Amino acid sequence: MLVSLTVGKVDAGVTVLLTPDKRLIEFPSILLPPDIVSGSIVDINVARNKNSEAAAERSFRELQDQILSSFGSAEPLAPILRCRNATQTSVVLEWDPIQLATADLISLALYRNGQKAGNIPKPLSMHTTKISGLAVDTEYTFHLVLRTTAGTFASQRVTVRTHKMTDLSGITITTGILPAAVREALAAAVERIGAKIVDGVRIDTTHFVTTEGRGIQWEKANELNIPIVRPEWVEACERNGRILGVTKFYLDAVRVGPPFVEERPSTAAAASQASAPAQPPVPPQKNSPRQQEASQSNVPSQPASPEETRKKEEGGAGSPGSSDSEEEAEEHKVKEGGQDEQKVLADERDQKRLAVRPSPTVEEEEEQTEEKPVSDDEKGGKSPGDGSSFQDVAL
């Protein structure tokens, strides 16, 4: 087919061609003759190349078959989930290696009771996981969701029920360094309670039993935060018929000794007295003159009898000779003692003088009032109540 076109505008890359019906066609300048200018007329012969079309079709079909054989023959498989072990508060789940075929992995998530619990780290290399912090004797449902570039695939749902406190079948023990006799007794006790012993520390190991804190398995148990206990823990669980806490049975915990028997007070006192060395008797201390005087002053005085009181009243305040001698003795003691002793003796002397000269009683004061002489004014005048009659009183 031959077509005549008129050159309109010539640019370095594109030339504008005009058709007879005034349509514009942008044509590559490199395909036109080099000497054309605006207004030139060019003839273009257009024809269909069927041989080239057939070759391109064959090439495209071969490519499609190759893609289908490489990427369309297999597809990712849904993960197969199962329960590996269950205890009172934890569940260990495992699944087969993920089959992605030719697809790329996006994520692998774990769901618990229909809600996402989290993504599995390193899903291509990890095939187990442990879920802790569960409630005792409670039912849970788990399933996995695999997301790939080829689509999303979900596993079957697995229902697991945590154990009761009396169910010891979930205990999985890894042993460390143990004496031969202790190892045999431990194996028998584990078999009786329905637990199991595994070789090496694994993800489903619940307790590490040993008597010495060393070894490769002991280090691995420490890294995985697995409780490291003594063999007595298994024996205690068997005696009580239920799982017990491990706080008192840790390898580095203080061992509990035999029960303490309290002795009777009399026996304990007798034993302490017998074991204590005999102390020498304390010699009696002689009181100094000052201590004797202080003790005498602290002793309360006995009340005097009626005869002594009457003699004191008749004799007055006592003989002046005796009182002078006592005062001289006290003054002599004051001169010998210090200032503090002088004050004490002065107070004692004042107290003695007050005791020798008692204060007058009410009766004595009345008697003194009656013995007072009557003045002349009192003798001459008469009051209205002194024997005069009513008529003598001046109104």
**pLDDT for 291-341, tens place per residue?**
545 444 444 444 555 555 555 555 444 444 444 556 666 665 545 555 666
pLDDT (mean) for 189-196: 93
Judged against a pLDDT cut of 90, whether residue 356 lies above it is answered with no
pLDDT > 70: what percent of the chain? 65
pLDDT (mean) for 350-377: 53
Judged against a pLDDT cut of 80, whether residue 1 lies above it is answered with no
**pLDDT for 23-69, tens place per residue?**
899 999 888 888 888 999 998 888 889 999 999 999 999 999 988 88
**pLDDT for 164-191, tens place per residue?**
999 999 999 999 999 999 999 999 999 9
Which tokens is 272 given?
Answer: 């302490």
**pLDDT for 92-130, tens place per residue?**
999 999 999 888 999 999 999 999 999 999 999 999 999
> What rounded mean pLDDT belongs to the chain?
77
pLDDT at 326: 60
